[in-house]
Amino acid sequence: MEPIDLKTLSLRQSDQIEWKENVADTDDVAATLSAFANDWSNLGGGYVVCGAKEEQDEHGFARVELVGLTAARLKEVEGRVLTACRDRVSPAIAPLVQELPAAHPDRRILVFVMPATSLAHSFRRHDKTAHFVRISRNTQEARNGILRELFVRKGALEEWDRRVCASASVNDLDLLALRDALQRMNVFRPERGIDEYLSESQSLSPFVPPLCVREPMTRVLRPRNFAMLLFGRTPQAHIPGAYSLFSVYPGLDRSEPHAESHELSGTLIDQARRLVELLDVQSYVAFDKTNRATPNAVKYPPQALHEAMINAIAHRDYEITEPARLTVFADRVEVLSPGSLPTGVSLEELRAGRAPAKWRNQSLAWFLNRLQLAQAEGQGVPTILRSMRQEGCPPPRFEVNEVRVMCVLPAHPRHALAREHRSIEEAISLGEFERAQQAVLSLLSQEPMNVRTVQLFAEVQRALNSVAPVREFLRVQEQNLKAFSPSALAQLADVLTGAERPSAEDLALAKKLYLEASKGRFAEREIRQVAVGLSRAGDDSAAIAFLDRQFDEHPELNESPWLLRIRGNALIGQAKHCIHTAKSRGLPPQTKARAWEDCRRFLREAEQDLRRALSRSTDGALSEGVQKSLDFVDELKRVATPPRLR
């Protein structure tokens, strides 16, 4: 063996080298050597360097300090470690040993070199036997999934889904379900019968083993685990954790007093189909007619929901007796899969959609793919990322620990906003205006501005009779008013004109908003709102012009008693203005005569509109209001009629 260069060695990956300045416990060295032999990180083995320590120089680069061991201590350590590797590691290992010069001539560096082996080695320490692996800089005991994966890699144990389900026999398979699946996979041949597919020698693909295995001694035909999951009559009787829980909470967490819950058993195929149905209910569309670019926004892309669900039941660790859990909250869907990430897949790669194509249960995955329930290997997470991005949803989040992998799919922001709007509407209906105002002000700080948010803001300020926040909001948004809907502009103006004593400045600002709103497209209710607002802001002429334009564009509105009444009242307002002009001192007689003439014309038109409104009204309150306006017209007519014509 060529001499080892410690300087070069210090530049290698940290999980391949263990530095021991003082070898206080030789069992630590033996455990680490057994971990290097197990080669969990697939680096080919590793080194344990005794009598040296790794540190950093003044520039932050790695540097090795060659402390060294005395001759007596070196022989003692070497003897103890090699004895432990021979007597307490099973199967025994025989690391290579080198002595290298240290900084002082009376000391040496002792290096153990342990190549990887094809076996799974255990180490007995303090009357406890365990398998050790090297993860990052640490040597640790292999447990649960890591231990099982180590056995699978070393050939000491088959992958879980390929193992025989020892508690079941072929009679526990649902042959009708099997035949249906084979037909959908287009591999079933009626002339061969179903029994041939249960043969221990018949495989549907080179990538998967036969569905069943015959025990050597008893000759009993037993299904493999993946066959029980896919085609078993009662899979949960043999694989306790093979079920799913689907829950729906109306709020943001599990503290809600009411929830919807489904416990899904049966085969994985049955569970997947039922989960698709339940998840599709959550994939509904929110429509925003003010957003012409993307009026429709799906809450969750169906493809993302389906892929996350299939990943949860296909990649999970079925030796953990916990169910797969799919939980729907108001703003997200959480998909929890028992078990850690498959070996060789990092969290960073998973989040970026660059994880290598690897399934925990290869045979199970092959069937799910052929049954069109799962994407091809490695495509599930990229599909989730792509579909969420294309629909405008926030990116999914992945949370991982030793016992579970969770995929969190956030709802489209429009749906989250709709939930906030419902909360504000509820606060308004309960009279909790301060809470509503706090929530709506928080939403107003977000970009882009939402039309419904502005409407709720106006509604809250009107309820609080608070004009100042509206003035400030309009000052900040002065350049963006054209982006607001006519309804939102009218509601903001209503707050200004609805004050107890609106100032001239507020009335002028309200008039500006109403005029801007009058340029838009309206439903009848909004037309009424804008027309009344213009009159209240002191511009009856603009209200009449606005209504006339609506009548021209939508002739059917000429029959609306509400709009006819509003136009009649605006004409009365114009007539009153003319009377004021005609009675003013200092004006020429011709001007006064023209004012009286205009007044009588306005009153005639007002009377016509009001009588048409009265004839078309079916609302008692409306009819009563129209009649009062007609009575007032009669009073004004007497005022506007010259004495000689009375």
- The 3-state secondary structure of 403-418, one letter per residue: CEEEEEEECCHHHHHH
Distance (Å, rounded) from C-alpha 104 to C-alpha 125? 34
Report the pLDDT value the prediction gives residue 236, as an integer from 0 to 100.
Answer: 94
Distance between CA 555 and CA 547 in Å, rounded? 11
Give the confidence band of 645 by pLDDT, cuts at 50, 70, 90.
very low
Report residue 261 CA to chain centroid gap: 20
The arithmetic mean of pLDDT across residues 239-245, rounded, is 94
Cα 478 to its chain centre, rounded Å, is 35
The mean of the pLDDT values for the chain is 85
Q: Tokens for 383?
A: 């599909």
Q: Which residues pair with 89 in a beta bridge?
A: 123
Strand 324-328 with 296-298, pairing = unpaired
Q: CA nearest 209: which of 364, 439, 36, 374?
A: 364
| pLDDT tens sequence across 433-485 | 888 888 888 887 775 667 778 888 888 888 888 888 888 888 877 777 777 77
Calculate the alpha carbon distances from 594 to 529, 545, 560 in Å: 32, 21, 32
Spatial separation of the C-alpha atoms in residues 473 and 466, rounded to whole Å: 12
pLDDT of the residue at 171: 93
pLDDT band at 309 (very low <50, low <70, confident <90, very high): very high
pLDDT bin (cut points 50, 70, 90) of residue 154 is: confident
Q: Are 239 and 173 in contact (CB under 8 A)?
A: no
Q: Say if residue 150's pLDDT is above 50.
A: yes
* pLDDT at res. 473: 82
Please state, in angstroms and rounded to a whole number, the distance separating the CA atoms of residues 145 and 337: 14
Written as one letter, the residue type at 415 is H
Cβ atoms within 10 Å of 116's Cβ, excluding its own: 16
Contact 639, 611 (CB under 8 A): no
Percent of all residues in the chain with a pLDDT value above 90, rounded to a whole number: 35
Residues 392-423: pLDDT tens digits? 889 999 998 878 899 999 998 877 777 777 78
Q: Which residue has the higher pLDDT, 377 or 487?
A: 487
Question: Do 203 and 241 contact (CB within 8 A), yes or no?
Answer: no
Cis, bond preceding 382 (omega within 30 deg of 0) = no
Which candidate, 106, 83, 86, 108, places its Cα nearest to that of 98? 108
The answer to whether the beta carbons of residues 121 and 141 sit under 8 Å apart is: no
% of the chain beyond a pLDDT of 70: 93
Q: Rounded to an integer, what distance in angstroms lies between the CA atom of residue 62 and that of residue 138?
A: 18
pLDDT at 644 over 50: no
pLDDT band at 646, cuts 50/70/90?
Answer: very low
Lowest mean pLDDT among 248-257, 474-483, 553-562: 474-483
Q: What tokens appear for 532 in the block? A: 């009344």
Tell me the average pLDDT across 198-204. 85
Do 154 and 91 meet the contact criterion of CB atoms below 8 Å apart? no
- The per-residue pLDDT for 376 is 54
pLDDT, tens digit, for every residue of 515-529?
877 776 677 788 888
Cα angle at 183 between 181 and 188, to 5 degrees? 110
CA angle at 286 for the pair 284 and 290, rounded to the nearest 5°: 160
Buried-state track 339-357, b at ≥16 Cβ within 10 A, e below 16: bbbbbebeeeebbebebee
The stretch 54-64 carries a mean pLDDT of 74
Is residue 513 a contact partner of residue 492, using CB atoms and an 8 Å limit? yes
Show the tokens assigned to 100. Answer: 């290298």
Residue 2 has pLDDT above 80, yes or no: no
Q: Rounded distance, CA 56 to CA 404, Å?
A: 37
Please return the burial class of 310, using the count of CB atoms within 10 Å of its CB with bins 0-12, 13-18 and 19+. Answer: buried
| DSSP 3-state of 357 | coil
Q: For residue 601, what is the DSSP state?
A: H
Does residue 297 surpass a pLDDT of 90?
Answer: no
Q: 617 versus 450: which is more confidently predicted?
A: 617
Single-letter amino acid, residue 19 = W
CB-based contacts of 242: which residues, under 8 Å, 6+ apart?
229, 235, 236, 268, 318
Do the Cβ atoms of 419 and 331 come closer than 8 Å?
yes
Q: What would the mean pLDDT of 261-287 be, rounded to a whole number? A: 89
Let me know: does 394 contact 415? Beta carbons within 8 Å. no
Instruction: Decide if 575 contacts 554 (C-beta within 8 A).
Output: no
Task: Give one word for 435, left, alpha or beta, with left for phi > 0 and alpha for psi -120 to 50.
Answer: alpha
Per the CB < 8 A criterion, the answer to whether 17 and 9 are in contact is yes
Alpha carbon distance 424, 440 (integer Å): 7
For the chain, list the domains and their CATH numbers. Answer: 6-155 (3.30.950), 161-237 (no CATH), 244-411 (3.30.565.60), 560-646 (no CATH)
pLDDT at 229: 95
